[in-house]
C-alpha cells in the first residue's frame, strides 16, 4: 500500500496487459502444440481458443480467491458477459456490413447459454457461491465441450476445411513461449487483484464492481477488436459464436475453477458475492441474456440496435460506479 493513485492505475494497467497478452500467447502456443499432437481442428478452435479467451478472468479469479477477495470472481464473470453483449456486440452491430447472420445457435447453444445464466443467478443470488456449486458448474462445462464433440460428427467436411487455417506445428521455441506466457499470466493475475484492492480502498468501491466494469472492459478488448474486424467483413457470425461460447465458459469454468481454491480461504468452500453485484449486476446480466437471445432469433442486426446496446452499457457503468 501507499502508492500514488497514478501509480496504482498504471500497475493495474500493466497487470491487465500481462493477463491479456499472456493469454493470447498461451492460446497460440496451445494451438500449435495441438496441431503437433494431431488434435482435430474443431477441438483446437472450439475448446482451446474458447477457454483461452477466458484465461484472464480465470487467472485473476484464482488469485482473488487465494488473497481472500472472493467478491471479485462473481463481479468479473457478470461484468465480462454484460460487456461482451452490450459493448462488443454493440460495436459489431454499428460496423456490420451485411443484412443478416447465418449462424444457428437456437438448437443448442442458446438453450445452454440461458440455462447457464439461470443456474448462475440461482447459485449467487443469496450472496454465497459454494464449492459444490463449482463442481456442478464444471460438469456443465463438460456437457458443453461434449456437445462440441458431438456436432463435429455431423460436419466432417466442414471440419476438414477448418484445419487449413490452423497454426503451424510446434517448435522448441513454442514451449519456451508457453512457459513465458504462463509466467506473464501468473504476475498479471497477482498484480491485477492487488491493484484492484488498492483502487477499491482509495475510492471506497467494492472490488467486485471494479472487476465488473474497468477490468471487464480491458479484458474484452481482444474480443472487441476481433468483432470489429469481422463485422466490417460481414462475418458477424464469428462475434455471436464467440460471445455465446465465452459466456458459457465464464459461467461454468471461470467461477467453477476458482471455487475449488476456496478451501484455502478464511471461509473454506465459499465465494462471497457483493451486494451491488446481486442487486445491479445480476438483473443487468439477465437482461443481457434475454436481449442476446432475441438478437440471435431475429438474425437481422441494425446500427440502431448497436447504438442502443452502447447506451445501455453506458447506463450500466454509471449505475455500477454510482455516477447517478
Per-residue pLDDT of the chain (324 residues; tens, 9 = 90+): 456 888 999 999 999 999 889 888 888 888 788 778 776 655 665 566 667 778 888 899 999 998 888 999 999 999 999 999 999 999 988 988 776 777 677 777 889 899 999 999 999 999 999 999 999 999 999 888 888 777 654 444 444 444 444 556 788 899 999 899 989 999 999 999 999 999 988 888 888 899 899 888 887 877 787 778 778 877 777 778 778 888 888 899 999 999 999 887 767 789 999 999 999 999 999 999 999 888 888 778 888 989 999 999 999 999 998 887
- In a 3-state reduction of DSSP, which class is residue 272? strand
The pLDDT, as a whole number, for residue 245 is 81
What per-residue confidence (pLDDT) applies to 40?
64
CA distance 57 to 245: 15
Each residue's pLDDT tens digit, 252-281: 999 999 999 988 776 778 999 999 999 999
pLDDT at 158: 45
Element (H, E) at 129: strand 128-130
DSSP H helices, 44-130, are: 49-66, 71-82, 89-94, 109-124
pLDDT of residue 192: 92
Query: First-to-last CA distance in the chain?
Result: 30
Residue 141 CA to chain centroid, in angstroms?
14
Provide the grid cell at 195. 491493484
The C-alpha cell 497460440 sits at 28
pLDDT at residue number 243: 82
Nearest Cα neighbor of 101 from 230, 225, 221, 229 is 230
Domain 5-320 has CATH 3.40.1010.20: no
Per residue, the 3-state secondary structure of the chain, as one string, reads CCCCHHHHHHHHHHHHHHHHHHHHHHHHHHHHHHHHCCCCHHHHHHHHHHHHHHHHHHHHHHHHHHCCCCHHHHHHHHHHHHHHHHHHHHHHHHCCCCCCCCCCCCCCHHHHHHHHHHHHHHHHCCCEEEHHHHHHHHHHHHHHHHHHHHHHCCCHHHHHHHHCCCCCCCCHHHHHHHHHHHHHHHHHHHHHHHHHHHHHHHHCCCHHHHHHHHHHHHHCHHHHHHHHHHHHCCCHHHHHHHHHHHHHHHHHHHHHHHHHHHHHCCCCCEEECCHHHHHHHHHHHHHHHHHHHHHHHHCCCCHHHHHHHHHHHHHHHHHHCCCC
Query: Rounded CA gap, 149 and 169, in Å?
Result: 22
Question: According to the model, what pLDDT value does residue 49 have?
Answer: 65
Distance of CA 312 to the CA centre of its chain: 19
pLDDT at 46: 56
**What dihedral do alpha carbons 73, 74, 78, 84 form, nearest 10°?**
20
Residue 283 has what pLDDT? 96
Please calculate the CA angle 76-15-167 and round it to the nearest 5 degrees: 85
Amino acid at each position: 500500500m501507499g502508492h500514488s493513485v497514478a501509480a496504482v492505475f498504471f500497475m493495474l494497467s500493466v497487470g491487465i496487459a500481462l493477463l491479456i497478452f499472456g493469454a493470447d500467447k498461451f492460446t497460440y502456443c496451445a494451438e500449435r502444440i495441438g496441431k503437433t499432437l494431431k488434435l482435430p481442428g474443431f477441438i483446437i478452435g472450439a475448446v482451446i481458443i474458447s477457454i483461452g479467451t477466458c484465461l484472464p478472468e480465470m487467472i485473476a479469479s484464482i488469485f482473488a480467491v487465494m488473497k481472500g477477495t472472493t467478491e471479485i470472481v462473481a463481479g468479473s464473470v457478470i461484468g465480462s458477459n454484460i460487456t461482451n453483449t452490450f459493448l462488443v456486440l454493440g460495436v459489431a452491430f454499428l460496423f456490420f456490413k451485411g443484412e443478416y447472420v447465418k449462424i444457428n445457435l437456437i438448437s443448442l447453444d442458446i438453450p445452454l447459454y440461458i440455462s447457464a445464466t439461470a443456474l448462475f443467478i440461482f447459485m449467487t443470488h443469496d450472496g454465497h457461491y459454494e464449492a459444490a456449486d463449482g463442481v456442478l458448474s464444471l460438469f456443465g462445462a463438460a456437457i458443453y465441450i461434449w456437445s462440441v464433440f458431438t456436432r463435429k460428427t455431423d460436419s466432417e467436411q466442414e471440419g476438414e476445411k477448418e484445419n487449413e487455417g490452423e497454426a503451424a506445428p510446434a517448435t522448441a521455441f513454442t514451449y519456451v513461449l508457453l512457459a513465458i506466457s504462463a509466467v506473464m499470466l501468473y504476475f498479471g493475475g497477482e498484480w491485477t487483484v492487488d491493484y484492484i484492492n488498492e483502487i477499491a480502498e482509495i475510492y471506497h468501491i467494492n472490488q467486485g464492481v471494479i472487476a465488473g466494469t474497468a477490468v471487464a472492459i480491458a479484458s474484452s478488448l481482444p474480443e472487441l477488436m476481433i468483432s470489429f474486424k469481422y463485422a466490417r467483413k460481414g462475418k458477424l457470425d464469428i462475434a455471436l459464436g464467440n460471445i455465446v461460447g465465452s459466456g458459457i465458459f465464464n459461467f461454468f469454468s471461470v467461477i467453477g475453477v476458482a471455487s475449488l481454491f476456496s478451501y484455502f480461504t478464511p471461509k473454506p468452500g465459499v465465494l462471497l458475492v457483493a451486494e451491488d453485484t446481486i442487486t445491479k449486476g445480476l438483473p443487468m446480466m439477465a437482461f443481457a441474456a434475454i436481449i442476446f437471445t432475441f438478437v440471435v432469433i431475429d438474425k437481422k442486426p441494425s446500427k440502431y440496435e448497436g447504438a442502443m446496446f452502447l447506451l445501455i452499457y453506458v447506463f450500466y457503468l454509471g449505475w455500477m460506479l454510482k455516477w447517478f
